């Protein structure tokens, strides 16, 4: 019967089937797990910040240790990491992240400067792995269909929910002590090994390497490679990025070519992604801790509950928008970036002047913030996949990933100042909630 619930559901199923037509379940599963595991330890470490450094050390220290090595890796690695086979990269990333988590978990829980320093060294090892993993897996999507990027984005969104939730359940509900919880989580990176060597079909990667030989091969207008492909040129392992062996004298010219590529990416892709991350992480780390209301007008009994709830709502928004690529695409990346900056201005103004009447309105804005941040992230890399020439795409996907870590680094420093100043302002104007947590 036309218009009945049954017919509407049939139409919806048909449209959904059309959206996912041609998707390889193994590719989607592998890249979803790559996104989840590569990012989940980052979230777990931030969730454990209080347990790692104690109440007397600013939690921004953990954020910076968790993101600066990742930022530096993304800044430098795109210019040389293509010479390392993907299978070797996976093993290195797993070793780094597992070692970092073991260091964090096995260091005695004494909150002195020495033990905190050792723990932060473990955090930085895990951060190196996360940064290298993100640029590598984004580059790897170049060899697969568009669903690989969509699955990666969804997995990274799921990491926020699963990471924060898993740590909360382990330590609060199951009453497992933080050290034991972190020790168990140290084995999660092994899932990446299983995903790459067992789940992911490696045929497209082999075929892509055999055909293009990596992103140092630049094609001219006629589609022919500028460098002769002589018979005596050797190729790397089929699972590697298989870049043609270059004589030493051409290494500098190759580096300059990649710098030119990177410069061409800045305004269309890097800058909007950088802006959105600066705005949203300044909100999350610097402004959100001061978005407090009287307990009588909220569902909470403790002021500390506001921040954890805001974070959970934000992660839900991120997960939804990072999973939306097959359904929703934006092509003008600056518009949502400017909207995110507007969110920062609005919430900062409220923290100063207290004009938003309800906690629930703040929750809606935080959810909107998460939607915008996740949407810009996945849309940026989708635009690169659609618009950047094939010979430049693998490099471009990896190089652009520096923007999110760069934005988080800047926001980390900003938020340490913003939170303190906003709290001082509120106390001076009779609102002492930020001192009552």
Judge whether 101 and 185 are in contact, CB under 8 Å.
yes
pLDDT band at 276 (very low <50, low <70, confident <90, very high): very high
Q: What are phi and psi of 225, to 5 degrees?
A: -70, 140
Between 144 and 217, the higher pLDDT residue: 144
Fold of 23-215+237-430: Growth Hormone; Chain: A; (1.20.1250)
Q: What is the pLDDT, as a whole number, of residue 99?
A: 96
Instruction: Calculate what percentage of the chain has a pLDDT beyond 90.
Output: 53
How far apart (Å, rounded) are the C-alpha atoms in residues 171 and 177? 6
pLDDT band at 318 (very low <50, low <70, confident <90, very high): very high
Segment 288-298 mean pLDDT = 91
Q: Return the closest-CA partner of residue 101 out of 57, 66, 61, 50.
A: 66
What digits encode the pLDDT tens for the residues 168-182?
888 877 888 889 999
What digits encode the pLDDT tens for the residues 69-89?
999 999 999 888 888 999 999
The tokens for 359 are 């906690």
Judge whether 396 and 261 are in contact, CB under 8 Å.
yes
What digits encode the pLDDT tens for the residues 387-398?
999 888 888 998
Burial class (CB in 10 A: 0-12, 13-18, 19+), 82: buried
pLDDT band at 202 (very low <50, low <70, confident <90, very high): very high
Q: What is the pLDDT, as a whole number, of residue 51?
A: 82
Residue 222, pLDDT > 60, answer: no
The tokens for 393 are 């795409």
What digits encode the pLDDT tens for the residues 12-22?
566 555 555 56
Give CA separation, 71 vs 42, 124, 190, 400, in Å. 13, 11, 23, 11
What digits encode the pLDDT tens for the residues 350-395?
999 999 999 999 999 999 999 999 999 999 999 999 999 988 888 8
Judge whether 281 and 160 are in contact, CB under 8 Å.
no
Instruction: Calculate what percentage of the chain has a pLDDT beyond 70.
Output: 84
Q: What is the pLDDT, as a whole number, of residue 82?
A: 85
Q: What is the pLDDT, as a whole number, of residue 277?
A: 95
Q: Return the closest-CA partner of residue 78 out of 401, 423, 418, 316.
A: 401
Segment 425-433 mean pLDDT = 93
Q: What is the pLDDT, as a whole number, of residue 228?
A: 42
Give residue limits of the domains in the chain.
23-215+237-430
What digits encode the pLDDT tens for the residues 242-273?
444 445 556 677 777 778 888 999 999 999 99
Q: What is the pLDDT, as a whole number, of residue 212?
A: 57
pLDDT band at 238 (very low <50, low <70, confident <90, very high): very low
pLDDT band at 143 (very low <50, low <70, confident <90, very high): very high
How far apart (Å, rounded) are the C-alpha atoms in residues 395 and 298? 48
Query: Chain centroid to CA 242: how far?
Result: 26
Residues in the chain: 437
What sign does the CA torsion over 388, 392, 396, 398 have? positive
pLDDT band at 303 (very low <50, low <70, confident <90, very high): confident
Residue 217, pLDDT > 90, answer: no
């Amino acid at each position: 019967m036309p218009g009945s619930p049954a017919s509407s559901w049939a139409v919806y199923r048909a449209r959904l089937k059309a959206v996912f037509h041609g998707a390889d379940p193994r590719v989607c599963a592998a890249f979803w797990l790559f996104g989840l595991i590569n990012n989940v330890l980052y979230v777990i470490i931030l969730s454990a910040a209080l347990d790692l450094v104690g109440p007397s050390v600013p939690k921004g220290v953990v954020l910076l240790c968790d993101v600066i090595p990742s930022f530096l890796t993304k800044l430098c690695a795109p210019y040389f990491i293509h010479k390392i086979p993907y299978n070797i990269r996976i093993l290195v990333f797993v070793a780094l992240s597992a070692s970092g988590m073991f260091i964090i978990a096995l260091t005695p829980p004494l909150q002195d400067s020495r033990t905190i320093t050792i723990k932060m060294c473990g955090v930085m090892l895990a951060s190196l792995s996360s940064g290298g993993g993100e640029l590598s897996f984004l580059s790897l999507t170049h060899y697969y269909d568009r669903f690989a990027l969509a699955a990666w984005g969804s997995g990274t969104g799921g990491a926020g929910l699963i990471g924060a939730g898993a740590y909360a359940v382990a330590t609060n509900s199951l009453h497992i002590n933080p050290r034991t919880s972190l020790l168990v989580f140290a084995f999660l990176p092994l899932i990446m090994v299983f995903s790459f060597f067992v789940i992911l079909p490696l045929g497209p990667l082999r075929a892509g390497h055999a055909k293009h030989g990596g992103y140092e091969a630049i094609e001219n207008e006629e589609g022919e490679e500028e460098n002769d492909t002589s018979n005596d040129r050797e190729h790397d392992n089929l699972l590697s990025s298989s870049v043609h062996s270059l004589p030493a004298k051409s290494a500098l010219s190759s580096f300059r070519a990649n710098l030119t590529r990177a410069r061409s990416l800045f305004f269309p892709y890097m800058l909007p992604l950088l802006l959105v991350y600066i705005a949203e992480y300044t909100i999350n780390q610097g402004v959100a801790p001061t978005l407090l209301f009287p307990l009588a007008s909220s569902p909470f009994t403790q002021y500390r509950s506001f921040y954890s709830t805001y974070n959970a709502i934000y992660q839900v928004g991120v997960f939804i928008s990072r999973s939306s690529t097959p359904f929703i695409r934006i092509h003008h990346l600056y518009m949502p970036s400017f909207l995110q900056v507007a969110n920062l201005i609005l919430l900062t103004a409220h923290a100063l002047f207290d004009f938003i009447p309800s906690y629930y309105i703040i929750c809606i804005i935080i959810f909107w913030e998460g939607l915008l941040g996740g949407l810009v992230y996945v849309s940026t890399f989708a635009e690169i996949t659609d618009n950047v020439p094939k010979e430049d795409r693998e490099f471009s996907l990896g190089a652009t990933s520096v923007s999110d870590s760069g934005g988080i680094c800047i926001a980390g420093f900003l938020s340490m100042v913003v939170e303190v100043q906003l709290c001082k302002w509120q106390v001076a104007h009779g609102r002492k909630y930020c001192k009552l947590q």
